[in-house]
Amino acid sequence: LGAGVMVMSIAALVMTGRAVNLAFVLAALFTVISAIPVIFYASCVRLRGGMYTQAAVFVGNVFSGFYIVQYVFSNMSMAMYAIGLTSYLVSLFPGLAPYSMWSNFAVLTVFFVLNFFGTEWMARVQDFMFYILIAALLVFTAFGLPQVHWAGYFGNELFGRPLIEHGLMGLFQASAFLTFATGGATVIVNMSAEAINPQKDIPFVTIVSTVGVAILYALMATVIGGVLPPEEVMAAGNLAPIAKAIMPTPLYYFFVIGGAGFALGTTLNATIGWVTKPIMQACEDGWFPRVLATLHPKFNSPYYLLAIFYVTNLLPIFFGLDVSTIGNWVLLLGN
């Protein structure tokens, strides 16, 4: 929750202007429709290999093998979250700007090390960050909505721009881009092997979380598009200027650390937690060497696979790729 709106909403603002709130709603609709097979199938059986198992059962072994090979590279999104988190840290501590690459490296390393100690530790940290994150996002929404320029929001005069700035093509482009931001609940199927009651909980989580996130994101996107001229927001590349304009200073710091920081932190943490599960099953099926799925004797974590994803996500950081490029690359491979 939160990483998409914190990182990807600015790129979506470029694509469609103030209609980014409509794009979030459309993205959630696309997500729920595409998740229908997951909802029905997960309600019947425990998917030990998550989306990989789904691919194997519905399409066949050859396709599932193709899927799991590209899966490694389509999860470069973890680098995107680390880069986004660093951008917010730089807004608080401008002195970090010359060291952004090393800050990205440090953020990614901390969360991979945390997940090395197993799901239980990951879940404890996740719970702590989650409640602070929810409070920060609600504060942003509550302070921002009254300061939106409602008089011209739905017309063509606010900031001298139309509501849907680049027509329907731009709106659908942004909606497709934002499916990555609203699709987080669908990946919970990859935790099917560890869920206590996956047949009941996973379909429920997929639907309720996606709808809930869409409503919250649409309200936040209204603030993003309706408080400051888009040039100011795009130049910053994050929501910090808006937060600074609508909140008292103490709440601004709370939002940047507890909202932006924990939104990206929780998503990065959760992604590292589930990303190895489909590949563990693929190792048992022979697509990769079985030794890669070896669990640590004490922490029960797949440390070889964690190391592979760690190195893979270091590549876009050291090559200097930006959030938009990584997001489009990941979506292209995944879809």
Q: Summarize pLDDT for 16-74 with one digit per residue, the tens.
A: 988 999 999 999 999 888 888 888 888 888 877 888 888 888 899 899 998 888 888 78
Among 74-83, 306-315, 320-329, the range with the most confident prediction by mean pLDDT is: 306-315
- How much is the pLDDT for 335? 73
Per-residue pLDDT tens digits for 233-250 = 888 878 889 999 999 999
Per-residue pLDDT tens digits for 290-310 = 999 998 888 888 999 999 999
**CA 142 – CA 159 distance, rounded (Å):** 22
- How much is the pLDDT for 319? 83
Mean pLDDT of 253-264: 85
Mean pLDDT of 139-165: 88
CB atoms inside a 10 Å sphere around CB 236: 16
**CA 206 – CA 187 distance, rounded (Å):** 8
Q: What is the mean pLDDT of the chain?
A: 86
* Least reliable range by pLDDT among 156-170, 271-285, 314-328: 314-328
In the chain, the percentage of residues whose pLDDT exceeds 90 is: 23
Per-residue pLDDT tens digits for 162-212 = 888 888 999 999 998 898 788 877 778 877 777 888 888 888 888 888 888
pLDDT score of 314 more than 80 = yes
Q: How far is CA 62 from CA 58, 105, 169, in A?
A: 11, 35, 35
305 with 280: CB under 8 angstroms?
yes
**pTM greater than 0.85 (yes/no):** no
Mean pLDDT of 133-144: 92
**CA 185 – CA 203 distance, rounded (Å):** 9
Radius of gyration of the chain (CA): 20
* Least reliable range by pLDDT among 91-95, 254-258, 281-285: 91-95
pLDDT score of 1 more than 80 = no
Bigger pLDDT: 13 or 333? 13
Please, what's the b/e burial string for 75-96 (b: 16 or more CB within 10 A of its CB; e: otherwise)? bbbbbbbbbbbbbbbbbeeeee
pLDDT score of 328 more than 80 = no
- How much is the pLDDT for 139? 93
The identity of residue 217, as a single letter, is Y
- How much is the pLDDT for 323? 66
In the chain, the percentage of residues whose pLDDT exceeds 70 is: 98
Closest Cα partner for 16 from 222, 217, 162?
162
- How much is the pLDDT for 275? 87
- How much is the pLDDT for 45? 81
The encoded tokens of residue 7 equal: 């990182």
- How much is the pLDDT for 160? 82
- How much is the pLDDT for 38? 80
**CA 88 – CA 237 distance, rounded (Å):** 9
